[in-house]
Chain A
């Protein structure tokens, strides 16, 4: 997750960027390792082990969320408000979008939406909404 750094938070911003980069690398390593293990020995592993391996990418994702929350808590109230509004818009758009699409899937036989796209869609919409919310306050 990236976001514009307010000018009073350069140091916190630098820390955030480095931590997020580290968490991103951690995520990639975990995903590649999980894919490698499942492809190599998935057939021989018990179901509970496959479930456990499948859940491992969630760990770096949670680390990223914690890094982001720590950064937001260091922001001033105005920038926290921008972040909150952007997430609210993102949750609304993606929530209503997927809700609407589910009816199209069910009744109009639209292609099945892969759940893995919901989180990236939330982040994309948050980025887009942040841009417009910031502009509103300028």
Chain B
């Protein structure tokens, strides 16, 4: 699954640790999600969506479709 986490984070000038803090997960988790090595669960994906105030489908997309 592809995601725009890194871009959204950069737009807000947040470090991985800042985002991890807001999501209440480890920095390693944020890094693994950003690099596409780990796909978050649905509850975590919704939490990410809330933190960025961005619809989930604008953050995540499957491999066939680029995120909008």
Q: Which residues of A contact B (CB under 8 A)?
A: 6-9, 75-79, 81, 134, 136-138
Contacts and interface: CB of A to CB of B under 8 A. Distances in A.
Contacts, number: 48
Nearest to A134: B28
A76 B25 contact: yes
Contacts of B32: 78, 137-138
SS of B interface (majority) = helix
Interface residues of B, number: 17
B16 to A, nearest CB: 10
Contacts of A136: 37
Interface string B2-44: 0000000000000001001100111111011100011011001
29 contacts: A6-B27, A6-B28, A6-B29, A7-B17, A7-B20, A7-B26, A7-B27, A7-B28, A8-B21, A8-B25, A8-B27, A77-B29, A77-B40, A77-B41, A78-B25, A78-B26, A78-B28, A78-B29, A78-B40, A79-B26, A79-B29, A134-B28, A136-B37, A137-B28, A137-B32, A137-B37, A138-B31, A138-B32, A138-B37
